[in-house]
Every structure is written in structure tokens, then in C-alpha cells.
Chain A
Amino acid sequence: MAGAGGGSNDVQWCFSQVKGAIDDDVAEADIISTVEFNHSGELLATGDKGGRVVIFQQEIENKSQPQCRSEYNVYSTFQSHEPEFDYLKSLEIEEKINKIRWLPQKNAAQFLLSTNDKTIKLWKISERDKRPEGYNLKEEDGRYIDPNTVTALRVPVFRPMDLMVEASPRRVFANAHTYHINSISINSDHETYLSADDLRINLWHQEITDRSFNIVDIKPANMEELTEVITAAEFHPHQCNTFVYSSSKGTIRLCDMRESALCDKYSKLFEEPEDPSNRSFFSEIISSISDVKFSHNGRYMMTRDYLSVKIWDLNMENRPVETYQVHEYLRSKLCSLYENDCIFDKFECCWNGNDSVVMTGSYNNFFRMFDRGQRRDMTLEASRESSKPRQVLKPRKVCAGGKRKKDEISVDSLDFNKKILHTAWHPQDNIIAVATTNNLYIFQDKVN
């Protein structure tokens, strides 16, 4: 599996770190709900169900060597969103962080957008490692000095102090969404971003909080006719006028904001015709797209539906160019998965730095990688058992039926409570972050 900087050597994934509580008793608030690397890969942010954001910073052992072990340590933790109560509807608004997106870095500080169901916030994360000392009118502890006792003047100087990382909310973008926000995406123009809920997409300016423009609205005049919702949306990585949004019916619409103010008419509609041999009552549900991601080069996009990952060429609308089965063995179990609601799980997917490999999660704490160039796939597991330092991960295999080989797991033994919904890939290196229910696993390419 080709890495970003490496050749065509096989990548061996090793355990690097695990974050989070060790015990099996999972506190609801600790459930990880989003994972995102920043643009340099130095910072890794997670959001959880309790509304907190935890940012890890990469500390490289030896910066001079290109390939060396690195560790991610806690950099900042803050409470991004609090639970709210909508008095009009008598409904609680969850504080769960649905998405985090980093802004491209412009100065010393880092900025990220975090969102719950209703409100988006822009956070500034800045470091403070010096502090002024030597005030004339203030003591070190803050007490004021009587000016009459001052006999000489001095200029305060900056002295080093222990590093302090501060997170402060700079903007709050509220009251623009009636339905639950599922996506935010920052535009390549570095000025605007979009937020999408079940029925609408809004365009914001990063500086302006009291106004947003509605660019997509699929709410029917009569709600009784509602049959389709928006599930994800993303801006093109280079073309600031282009964005896509996916639907619960398995379609993706590409829109050009230059065409009209309200992008209800799509420029392109990506849809694969249904396979009639696989038709069932669950066909629509499993075709619902849970995530859409552009490739880094902007030529492809990837969609995740319940059973598969599809790669689309932006120039071909009638079918994907590649389809990868994530867990086809679940196709015969759809009714049970419908019964226990697992069929509604929203898995995310991600590209590696050079768009050669894609990754997505599955059940039983398995996650899957598909090497597009070498046409190979791999199943790995994030578990405490394989958590020895630098332990190489062993590929896993699920036995769909028939005779089960040694080391294989039968479908019936899969734990459907252990699901990996959120994964992230370092933008340059072969470092991945995989979130189980309440733990964050970091795996790295084996260092020679």
C-alpha cells in the first residue's frame, strides 16, 4: 500500500497510541463523535458527545529525520458546546459535536470550526509561552502599587513561562438551522464556509455571524411529501464555486454557485442505477449516503453508503469508477440490522495524502483500507489486545459462511456495538486516527 512519501512498499501498520478511558464502562459524554487532522497534520482534534473538544499535538522525537516516530499528546481541551433547551419546541438541543473543521493557518494561532446540531462556533487556539513582567503600577500578584511610592520607571519585559494553550470562542454562528446540522465545509477562498442540515445548506462568511445565505433548500412545500434529506455536503478543495451534497436516496448533486443564488438546480447528478437482483425493502436505506469526501487533487469524490465505498470521477455521473465492498457479508443480515437500528449507522470515510488509499470503519472495531492502485484491501482491528507499543497489526478476516478458518471471525460473532464511525488520515504521512466508541487509536507506518 503506497504511502504518501514512500514507494510501492507494503505499509505495515503499527499501534502507536490509544487515548481515552481504559475501562469498558463507557460514559455517554465520552463517546467520540468526530476526528480531524489539521492541514499540516501537527494537530489532531476530537469532539465528543459531551460537547468537548480535545486537541492533540504531534511531538516528533527527532525532527531532523524524515521517518521517525511521533507521538500525539494533549494540547488543549475545552468545552465547545453546552446542552441547550429550545423553549419553543420543548426540545433539548444536544451538545454533541457533529463536526470539526480546521481553518488554514494564517498566523501563529490555530482556528477551527466546531458544530453541534444547531450552532457553529469558531474557536481560536493560541499559545502563550511568555508573559510580561515588571509593571510599574502592579505587583507580580496583581495588587496595585500606590503611585506615590514609585521612585523609578522601568519597561516591562517578556519572560518565558510554562506553555499555556488557550481556546477562545471568536464567533458564534447561531439560529440559521431549523434541522440538525450534519456537515460543515470550509471554502478554498478562505473566506466562506457552508453548513448543511437535513433540508438546507447555508453559506456563511467567516467574519459575519448575523447573516447567512441559503444556497440549497430541498424542503417540500408540504412536509407530507418529504422523502429525501441531505446527508452530507462539502466544498471542492480548489474550485471555490463548486460544492456537492449527498442524499438519503443515494444521489450526489454537484452545484455551481455561479449559476444562481439558490442552487436548487444541480450542475451534475451522480447516481448509480440500482442493481435489480439485489433489490429488497432495505435497498433505499442501505443506499443512503453517510459521507462524501473530495479527493485531495479534486478530481474524484468518495461516498460511503451502508455496505460500500464508491469513488466517483467528477466527469462521469452515471456510475462510480470504483466500488469497494466494506462488509458485504452483512447483506443477508439487513433485517436484523434494521431491527437493532444498526442499519442507520453513519460511517465516515477518508483519503490518504496522495489519494491512493481510502479508509472507512466497520463493526467489531474493524476498519478497512482499500488501495486503489494495487487493488488490494485490508481489514484491521482497533483493540486493546493489539495495543503493545509498536505492535504490528495483523490483518483480520471475516468468515461469511461455510468452514471457518483459524483466526477468522464468523459474522455471527461480530460485536455490533463496537463500531468505528470516524477515522482520519494524516495529510502527508502514514499516520491514522481511528475512533472506537470512546477511545482514539493512533496507528503509524512501521518505522524501519
Chain B
Amino acid sequence: MFPKGTKRKFSDSGDEPPAGSDDVNQPSSAAVRMLSSYSLQRQSLLDMSLIKLQLCHMLVEPNLCRSVLIANTVRQIQEEMTQDGTWQIMTQALSAANAAAQCSADRLVATEVLCRQTEAAQGEPAPKPFPAVGSEGCSAEEVVVVEEEDEGVEGGVIMSTVSPQAPTAYLPSTFGIDPCWEEETGEEEDEDEDSEECASGSEEGDNDRLVEDSRTAEQVFGTFEIKNPAPSPDPALEELFSDVDASYYDLDTVLTGMQSAPKMGPYDLLESLSSHGPSPLSSSTSCRSDLNELDHIMEIIVGS
């Protein structure tokens, strides 16, 4: 339902959603858009923070105060995203349970995204909360690419937290996902091939979407421009990949700490889902059964 509504913004093609789904989606789309705008803001802030931390590495002697403040901001965002992710899972599961007509379609759509996520994640070296920060020297572009996934990520990552196999955080898992999955109409057989096609085809499109997204972020944040901004440190991108002996900096321990700091793994999240569902949702048991069903379906698909 809402992955389609939000993904649409970034899609190059003029794909129409399946007939009838629009009507059902309408009541929640406004709320979703508002949510997405905030999430976009938040995601953009997260990306910016991570880039700043990475640039910190490259300075002569990193300013510890600045690094600590940025790291705390990142931690804050992640905590909030984790909490919000929980909330949205419940909403999704509830609406999936209530709207009988769209139930099956939603689940299949959801599992597609799940599936794609998992496959993309398998391509990653190791799904961590902040891979850009580690000494692997993750490309700054990789980090920013995530921005494009924001709106769809709501749907994407939410589903991923349901499955124990998919990684929790947005960043690593969303790499490779692109809107062309919209073309899928829930045909499981074609899924795997199509996902691969789209994944490979997405890279060229990524840069375009990057530009688009930074503009979007700018619109979201600023109704103004600061003239003559302070010149950024401006290290060449090559330097980002150069061999930096991480042991030099005390800062590294702070940053590696960040990787382990978010204690909530996918399993924790799943537990928190089932253990304390929010009170307004009365059908928590049905949610749980739906989650298990989704789980089951995903396992089947991934297994095939």
C-alpha cells in the first residue's frame, strides 16, 4: 500500500498502480506523506552526520568534541528510527489484517521488498548499523544513495524488521533497491530475475536520483540559503579510500562503539513488537499471526 504511494515520487517511469488500490490507499496517504517528509529530513540528517564523521577521520587531529556531538546525534536518530519502525510495522500489520481485499496483494508486495532487501543485503560484506563509518572506507556515495530509498524504505525496512534474516538498519540493506520493483504486480516467479535486473540497472540511475534527492532535501530543510558557507574540508574522494591506519585515532574507538551501540538487533525488534504492542491496536494477536505468516512466506520465497 504505502510503499507504492511513496515510491512513486522517485520513479522515472509513469507506471500506474493496479486499479482500485488507489481508493483504498487514499485515507492514509496524507499521513504517510507527512511521515515520509519527516523521515526524509531525518534520513538526510543521518547521512550528513555520517559523512561528517568519516571526514573527521581524515583531518590532522580530529576534534573530539565535534565528533562526540555528531556521534550522539547519529545515535539519537537511530534510536528514533528504530522506535518509529516499530510503530509502522504495527500499523502495516493492522491494516493488512483489516483490509481483506488488499491483504494478499499487500503481503506479496511486502515480501517482494523483503526479498529484494535480503538479496541486496547478501551482497554486502556485513550488515552493520553504520558501515560508512568503519575503516572499510565505504563510499560517501553509497551512504547518500540511501537517501533515495527513504520513502520506499518505510515500507521496505519495516518489512525487513519482521524477518529475522533481513538487517535492521536502513543503510546497508537498501543499497541496490530501486523503484523499478513497482512494475512487479506480485508474480512470485518473476521476482528473483527481475530484482536482479533492477538492481544492476539501478546504479546508473542512482546518481540522477542522488541529485534529485539532495534538491528535495534542500527544499525540505531550507527556505533560505546561507551565503558564503564555511568551506568544507574538501578532501578528495580518493583520500576517503586511502589506507588510513585507524589505530592512530582515539576517535575510532568512539566510532566503532557507535557500531555496537545500537543494541537493538532485528531479533530485539521482533521481540519488542510482540512483547509490548501499542495499546491503541486491539488486534495485536492477529498482527502477530500476520507477522508469522509474512515470515513464513518470506522464507519460502527466499528459499526458492
Query: How far apart are the CA atoms of A339 and B73 in the complex, in Å?
Result: 13
At the interface, yes or no: B124 with Cβ under 8 Å from chain A? no
At the interface, yes or no: A127 with Cβ under 8 Å from chain B? no
- CB contacts (< 8 Å) of A333 on chain B: these are 222, 224, 226
Query: How far apart are the CA atoms of A281 and B71 in the complex, in Å?
Result: 12
What total of chain B residues lie within 8 Å of the partner, measured CB to CB?
39
- At the interface, is chain B mostly helix, strand, loop or mixed? helix
A217 to nearest B CB, angstroms?
15
- CB contacts (< 8 Å) of B250 on chain A: these are 178-179, 223
- A223-B257, A281-B73, A340-B232 given as contacts; is B61 within 8 A of A93 (CB)? yes
At the interface, yes or no: B125 with Cβ under 8 Å from chain A? no
At the interface, yes or no: A429 with Cβ under 8 Å from chain B? no
Q: B62-70, B155-163, B166-174, B186-194: which lies at the A interface? A: B62-70
Whether A179 pairs with B222 at a CB distance below 8 angstroms is: no
User: In the complex, which range does the number of interface residues on chain A fall in?
Assistant: 35 or more
At the interface, yes or no: A224 with Cβ under 8 Å from chain B? yes
- CB contacts (< 8 Å) of A180 on chain B: these are 61, 63-64
B199 to nearest A CB, angstroms?
31
At the interface, yes or no: A228 with Cβ under 8 Å from chain B? yes
Whether A91 pairs with B60 at a CB distance below 8 angstroms is: yes
- At the interface, is chain A mostly helix, strand, loop or mixed? loop
B45: contacting residue among A178, A223, A335, A415, CB under 8 A: A335
At the interface, yes or no: B18 with Cβ under 8 Å from chain A? no
At the interface, yes or no: B30 with Cβ under 8 Å from chain A? no
Whether A336 pairs with B222 at a CB distance below 8 angstroms is: yes
Whether A341 pairs with B232 at a CB distance below 8 angstroms is: yes
- A91-B60, A344-B69 given as contacts; is B253 within 8 A of A337 (CB)? no
Q: Which residue of B lies closest to A230 (CB)?
A: B65
At the interface, yes or no: B225 with Cβ under 8 Å from chain A? yes
- Encode B38-69 as 1/0 by CB contact (under 8 A) with A: 00011001001000100000001101111011
- Encode A7-45 as 1/0 by CB contact (under 8 A) with B: 000000000000000000000000000000000000000
Whether B64 pairs with A340 at a CB distance below 8 angstroms is: no
- CB contacts (< 8 Å) of B249 on chain A: these are 89
- Encode B128-167 as 1/0 by CB contact (under 8 A) with A: 0000000000000000000000000000000000000000
Query: What are 21 pairs between A and B in contact, CB < 8 Å?
Result: A89-B249, A93-B61, A178-B250, A222-B257, A223-B257, A224-B261, A226-B68, A228-B68, A231-B65, A248-B69, A285-B73, A333-B226, A335-B45, A338-B45, A338-B48, A341-B232, A344-B66, A344-B69, A411-B224, A412-B227, A415-B227
User: Nearest 8 pairs between A and B by C-beta?
Assistant: A224-B257, A223-B253, A340-B229, A198-B64, A335-B221, A412-B224, A340-B230, A285-B69
